[in-house]
Amino acid sequence: MFPLSDIMDILKLEPGDVNRINVFIECLKDSRDFCKYDKKTEGFVLKKVLKSSFPGCYGFVPKTHHIDAEPLDVIVLTSSPLQQGIVLQARPIGIVRLKNKIIDDILIAVSLADKKFEKLFDLTKLQKNILAKIKNFLEEFKNMEVENIFDAEHAKRSVEHAIELYKKEFG
C-alpha cells in the first residue's frame, strides 16, 4: 500500500495485470460516504451520503477504460476499512454486471495483503450472504439491477480489455 502523498501524480500509476491489479481507493469499507478523487484539486470530493455502507473498499484501476467511459470500478474485499487515497494490490475474483439503460460492470477483488482472502480465487466461491450484500449494495448505489455475476476468468478478460481500451484511447 502506498500513501497518496508518496504517489504525487496518480496518472503515473500502472494498472497491474490480470492477476495483480492496482486499485486506487476512494471510498472506505463500512462507510456511507461516496467520494470521488478530483485530479484538478488532488483531493476527495464527497458526492453523496448513501443509505447503505460499502461492503468493501471502493475505487478504480488506473489506466483502464471501460464501456461506461470511466476507469474500471472495483470493490476490494478486505478485513478492515484501510485508508482513503492508498493504492493496494488486489486479485480479481469476479464481476457484478448491472444494467439499466446502460451496462456497468463492477470488478470484485480481494486484497493480496489480507490473509483472510488468500485462498479466495473466484466470486462463485464467496459466501452467499456476502455476495448478496454486495449485490444489494450495488443495486441501491448505482440505481440499477444486477443482470449477471461472472467468475474470475471473465474478470481477468475484462481487466485485459479495459487496459487495451485505455491504450487505444489515450496511448
What DSSP assignment string belongs to 81-147? ---TT-EEEEEEEEEEEEESSSEEEEEEEEETT-GGGTT---GGGS-HHHHHHHHHHHHHHHT-EEE
CATH number at residue 152: 3.90.80.10
Q: What is the pLDDT of residues 24-81, one digit of tens each?
A: 999 999 999 999 998 888 889 999 999 999 999 999 999 999 877 789 999 999 998 8
Structural domain that includes position 133 = 4-170
Which residue matches cell numbers 496518480?
10
Count of domains for the chain: 1
DSSP 70: S
Q: How confident is the model at residue 5 (pLDDT cuts 50, 70, 90)?
A: very low
Nearest Cα residue to 126 out of 117, 136, 114: 117
Q: In DSSP terms, which residues pair with 45 in a beta bridge?
A: 36
Nearest Cα residue to 73 out of 17, 27, 7, 120: 27
CA atoms of 53 and 4, how far apart (whole Å): 23
Q: What is the pTM of this model?
A: 0.92
Give residue 8's pLDDT: 47
Whether the pLDDT of residue 4 is over 60: the answer is no
Q: What is the pLDDT of residues 99-156, one digit of tens each?
A: 988 889 999 999 999 999 999 999 989 999 999 999 999 999 999 999 999 999 999 9
In whole angstroms, how large is the CA radius of gyration of the chain? Answer: 15
